[in-house]
């Protein structure tokens, strides 16, 4: 079988923990690091983690504590293959086949990275490694000493987080949880917006009532103004009628005067004729014409009647002239008053030809004035306030609609992402469970990996059960099974999980605590088998004891400590 070139070809430790200067070269397949406890085996793996910038190594410790005692500066150099993997180079901007990644550590706490002598950031380094699937932040790529034992203390929820991070679903789930938190903020924002909307609606309701009163008041005032104009023109019309009647009366009186004056003139003509005839008859009677006395007498009687009739008519004419004078004075006054009323009416409105009487119009005016009074006072700022609160209400209503739409959209998005997460995690757990049961059978056990509370992403967890020697499987925790059985079961699970990681590099540090030789051999054989099944993956396994027989393509690296200094022999 042909194995791919190792991705991590060498690590150099300078003034790092117990190593003064150590070079460890790695080969394809399994690199088995052995040596007594305290020799500095784990320091090699820790150095690789520090050199790759794994943040896990920086929690709970100071990097300056990793510098060898008595030294001010330490250095870790990792030689990484820059050959293309699946057509992708980790550092495409570097032409060399190998990249020397160096991390400097100073006692004052400062540190930095270099790649082929050029300073780079940790994010730049990790982006390059991620191009070939080597995620330094995945804790199952480098399983540090104690991780196996720590797993037993994890809650189902914490165990599931490890699985998700291992298979690349961790960020997906964290994205869902972040979206749920965002949804909570959106819901809270919607609630506050609805409260604002309710208050704005109450304020708008008040000002809308005032606005409707304002509109009604404006309409009533407009109607009142029209009615006052109509009343003014109705009074003008009435006054014009009075003037017309007075003119007709004046015309009648003037006609009477003219008629009586003509009669008087006629009577005076007849009187003059009578007087002339009487003078003539009187002269003749005096001359002796006695027979004319009777005619003279009758003539004088007729004269008296005519004179009396003329005097009566003259008296009537005098009365009529007095009446005419009064009528002319009244007409003058009425004409002046009419002129004033026309001017006042014109100031109110154009001429209105109304069929109604002033009394009818005044009655309607009183009704409208009563309605205006019943409306009460309307604030002077009503129009401006109504427009302001209406605009505010519309703005808040739009925000409320937008918030509701955002909530609905986010809810749908979250539900869809939850569905995808459930489908993926169920598939992963199903596959891991099959591998776990297969590995567990190799160490004489039975068990299951199963999801709990999968419908609730926040409460979802992973339960691990195992049983040995015919004992019913029980849930794994620090208080079930023996130490060796518990470690064996957890190793079977972690190896099953690790096999799902698409990484060209995997490392395991001292897994066999409390494990009997038979189970240790079975676990190592599983690791060797995984190495054969994945010839493009480089393995580093740390163990305090040697293993025989060693399969092909296994490199043994022996670490010893002499007088406080670690040495490596390959």
pLDDT means per 10 residues in the chain (570 residues)?
80 94 92 90 91 65 84 94 87 91 91 92 89 78 80 87 81 90 91 91 89 90 92 92 93 94 92 88 82 84 89 92 93 92 91 91 92 86 88 91 92 94 92 92 92 91 90 86 85 86 85 79 87 88 84 89 86
Distances in Å between the Cα of 446 and the Cα atoms of 309, 431, 524, 545 are 159, 16, 19, 27
Long-range contacts formed by 160-164: CB under 8 A, 24+ apart: 160/425, 160/451, 160/460, 160/461, 160/462, 162/497, 163/425, 163/428, 163/429, 163/432, 163/462, 163/497, 164/425
The torsion of the CA quartet 108, 109, 110, 114, rounded to 10 degrees, works out to 120
Token pair in block for residue 434: 């099959």
The torsion of the CA quartet 175, 436, 27, 143, rounded to 10 degrees, works out to 50
Residue 556 phi, psi dihedral angles, 5° rounding: -100, 130
Q: What residues are paired with 565 via a beta bridge?
A: 562
Token pair in block for residue 152: 């037993």
Give the pLDDT confidence score for residue 570 in this predicted structure: 64
Q: With b meaning 16 or more CB within 10 Å and e meaning fewer, what string describes 3-35? A: bbebbbbebbbbbbbbbeebebbbbbbbbbbbb
How many Å apart are CA 338 and CA 333, to the nearest integer?
Answer: 8
Q: What residues are paired with 102 via a beta bridge?
A: 77, 114
Helical segments of 349-381, H only: 358-375
In residues, how long is the chain? 570
Question: Could you read off the pLDDT of 64-113 as tens digits, one per residue?
Answer: 888 998 899 999 999 999 988 888 888 988 889 999 999 999 998 889 99
In the chain, what percentage of residues exceed pLDDT 70? 98
Give the pLDDT confidence score for residue 244 in this predicted structure: 94
Token pair in block for residue 73: 């500066």
Look up tokens 């009142």; give the residue. 224
Among 557, 506, 513, which residue's Cα sits nearest to residue 528? 506
How many Å apart are CA 61 and CA 54, to the nearest integer?
Answer: 13
State the DSSP code for 323: H
Look up tokens 């002499």; give the residue. 562
State the DSSP code for 72: S
Task: Report which secondary-structure segment, H or E, holds 539.
Answer: strand 538-543
Rg over alpha carbons for the chain, rounded to the nearest Å, is 62
How many Å apart are CA 492 and CA 498, to the nearest integer?
Answer: 10
Distances in Å between the Cα of 541 and the Cα atoms of 496, 507, 526, 553 are 16, 6, 12, 13
Burial class (CB in 10 A: 0-12, 13-18, 19+), 49: buried
Peptide bond into 549 cis (omega under 30): yes
Domains identified in the chain and CATH numbers: 1-141+501-570 (3.40.50.300), 207-369 (1.10.287)
Give the pLDDT confidence score for residue 2 in this predicted structure: 62
**Residue 528: Cβ within 10 Å count:** 21
How many Å apart are CA 56 and CA 240, to the nearest integer?
Answer: 109
How many Å apart are CA 319 and CA 567, to the nearest integer?
Answer: 158
The residues, ordered by sequence, that sit 6+ positions from 354 with a Cβ below 8 Å of its Cβ are 230, 233, 234, 237, 361
In three-state secondary structure terms, 467 is strand
How many Å apart are CA 500 and CA 135, to the nearest integer?
Answer: 13
């Amino acid at each position: 079988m042909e194995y791919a070139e190792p991705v991590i070809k060498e690590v150099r430790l300078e003034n790092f923990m117990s190593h003064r200067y150590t070079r460890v070269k790695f080969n394809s397949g399994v690199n088995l690091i052995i040596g007594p406890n305290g020799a500095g085996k784990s320091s090699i793996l820790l150095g690789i983690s520090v050199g790759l910038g794994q943040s896990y190594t920086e929690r709970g410790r100071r990097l300056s504590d990793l510098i060898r005692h008595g030294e001010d500066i330490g250095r870790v150099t990792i030689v990484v293959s820059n050959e293309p993997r699946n057509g992708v180079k980790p550092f495409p901007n570097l032409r060399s086949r190998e990249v020397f990644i160096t991390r400097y550590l100073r006692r004052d706490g400062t540190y930095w990275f270099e790649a082929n002598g050029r300073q780079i950031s940790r994010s730049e380094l990790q982006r390059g490694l991620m191009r070939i699937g080597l995620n330094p932040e995945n804790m199952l790529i480098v399983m540090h000493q104690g991780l196996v034992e720590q797993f037993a203390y994890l809650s189902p929820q914490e165990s599931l987080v490890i699985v998700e991070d291992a298979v690349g679903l961790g960020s997906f789930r964290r994205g869902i949880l972040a979206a749920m938190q965002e949804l909570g903020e959106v819901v809270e924002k919607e609630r506050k917006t609805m409260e604002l909307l309710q208050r704005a609606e109450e304020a708008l309701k008040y000002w809308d009532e005032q606005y409707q009163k304002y509109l009604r008041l404006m309409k009533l005032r407009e109607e009142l103004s029209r009615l006052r104009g109509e009343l003014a023109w109705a009074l003008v019309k009435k006054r014009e009628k009075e003037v017309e009647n007075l003119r007709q009366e004046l015309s009648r009186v003037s006609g009477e005067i003219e008629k009586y004056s003509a009669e008087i003139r006629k009577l005076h003509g007849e009187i003059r004729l009578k007087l002339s005839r009487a003078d003539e008859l009187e002269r003749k009677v005096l001359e002796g014409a006695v027979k004319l006395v009777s005619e003279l007498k009758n003539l004088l009687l007729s004269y008296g009647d005519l004179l009396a009739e003329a005097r009566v008519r003259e008296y009537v004419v005098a009365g009529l002239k007095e009446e005419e004078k009064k009528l002319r004075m009244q007409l003058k006054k009425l004409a002046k008053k009419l002129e004033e009323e026309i001017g006042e009416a014109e100031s109110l409105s154009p001429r209105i030809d109304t069929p109604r009487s002033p009394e009818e119009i005044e009655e309607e005016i009183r009704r409208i004035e009563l309605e205006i009074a019943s409306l009460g006072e309307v604030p002077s700022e009503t129009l401006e306030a109504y427009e302001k609160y209406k605009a505010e209400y519309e703005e808040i209503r739009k925000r409320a609609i937008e918030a509701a739409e955002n909530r609905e959209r986010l809810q749908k998005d979250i539900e869809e992402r939850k569905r995808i997460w459930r489908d993926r995690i169920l598939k992963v757990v199903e596959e891991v469970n099959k591998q776990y049961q297969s590995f567990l059978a190799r160490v004489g056990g039975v068990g299951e990996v199963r999801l709990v509370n999968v419908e609730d992403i926040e409460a979802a967890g992973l339960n691990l059960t195992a049983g040995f020697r015919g004992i019913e499987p029980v849930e794994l925790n620090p208080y079930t099974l023996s130490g060796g059985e518990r470690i064996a079961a957890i190793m079977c699970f972690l190896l099953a999980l690790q096999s799902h990681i698409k990484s060209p590099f995997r490392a395991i540090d001292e897994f066999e605590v409390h494990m009997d030789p038979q189970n240790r051999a079975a676990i190592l054989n599983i690791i060797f088998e995984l190495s054969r099944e994945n010839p493009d993956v480089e393995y580093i396994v740390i163990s305090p004891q040697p293993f025989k027989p060693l399969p092909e393509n296994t490199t043994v690296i022996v670490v010893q400590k002499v007088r406080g200094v670690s040495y490596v022999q390959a």
